[in-house]
Amino acid sequence: MPDPSLLLQTFFILSAFTVLLLNSIPAVRARYIAYGSRAIPVKNSDQCHHGTNKPAEKRNAHASKTLEWLLERLDAIQVPHRWFQHFYIISVCSSLFWGVQILAKGFVLEMLCRSVGPNTQANGMTVDQVVLTWSLVTVQGIRRLLETSFPVKSSRSNMWFVHWLLGIAFYLALGVSCWIEGADALLSAEPITSNTTLSALSLKAIIGIPIFVLASGVQHDCHAYLASLPKYTLPVHPIFQSFICPHYTMECLIYLSLAFVAAPKGALINRTMFTAFVFVSANLTVSATTSKKWYERKFGKKAVAHRWTIVPGLY
């Protein structure tokens, strides 16, 4: 079996690359990237090719119409935006499953651990780090599940089914990513409960945990504020004066902090969790850019000209 940590890293990086690539193609971006109120109407190909007479142009027009028909069929497969909650149901269920596997040294856990490459095993997480990182991922999933379980107002918007599938795949992968680099420690003979103290946190954990807590708190406040706003209005909360989507910025910080907390001894970051951060950053940068363009169309460029899209000082 291939090394699970390398498979996860490859999945996150390829997914991030695919999101950025699709966003760079205007026709695809208009159809599939933006959704709900942010969606941009797509022109019908019949309007674009009206009056075509030359044989070559007719063939091109026919091919274009065929492609347009296929894109329309794919675009028609939509799911309710409220299905976003499924991500966090999956996240919590995945965390609980792997928590039991870690405590009981279950068969699935052992199978994956024994497939991890020797380099990852030799330079892996401690049991303390596994328990801590798993706990933070579980807390994050529970918080987001609770936030999406009690919305102030329901949304009737839809999203493309691929968004939904990719989100499900991400949270399933995250459930493994938070402990996979601790495979060697988890295979040790001692029971997990007697091998876990959390008494001596590493410097990276001492830095990462406060960032995780602060970013989680700010993100919760942002979500609560957005839920209280009348639909399609410009946010005026102080933190929204500096950012287009501060809740996206906080999400990136949450995953970056997890990459620090889970970093093995001698390493700056946990490679698997860092690639998860890369995917989250790429995905949310695209979403934040889409939101900024929507704000510019609706409220004018001056209204958001002074707001950073997602990374203060850079973008």
Asked, for residue 125, whether it belongs to a domain, the answer is: yes
| Alpha carbons 131 and 136: distance in angstroms, whole number | 9
With pLDDT > 70 as the criterion, what percentage of the chain qualifies? Answer: 78
**Which residues form the domain of 127?**
4-42+77-304
Six token digits for residue 256 = 């970056």
Q: What is the mean pLDDT of the chain?
A: 85
Q: What is the pLDDT of residues 247-259, one digit of tens each?
A: 999 999 999 999 9
| Region of poorest pLDDT, from 50-59, 117-126, 188-197, 231-240 | 50-59
Answer whether residue 281 is part of any domain: yes
- What local confidence, expressed as pLDDT, does residue 47 receive? 47
**Other CB atoms within 10 Å distance of the CB of residue 11:** 18
- On whether residue 132 sits in a domain, the answer given is yes
Asked if the structure places residue 288 within a domain, the reply is yes
Q: Is residue 311 part of a domain?
A: no
Could you report the per-residue pLDDT of 15-61, keeping only the tens digit for each? 999 999 888 877 676 666 665 555 555 555 444 445 555 555 555 55
What's the one-letter identity of residue 107? Answer: F
Taking the alpha carbons at both ends of the chain, their separation in whole angstroms is 41
Q: Is the pLDDT of residue 219 over 90?
A: yes
- The pLDDT tens digits of the residues spanning 97-109 come to 999 999 999 999 9
**Does any domain span residue 55?**
no
| 61 belongs to a structural domain | no
How many domains in the chain? 1
Distances (CA, A) of 184 to 97, 117, 166, 177, 295: 20, 10, 29, 14, 49
In 243-270, where does DSSP find H-type helix? 246-261
- Domain for residue 149, yes or no? yes
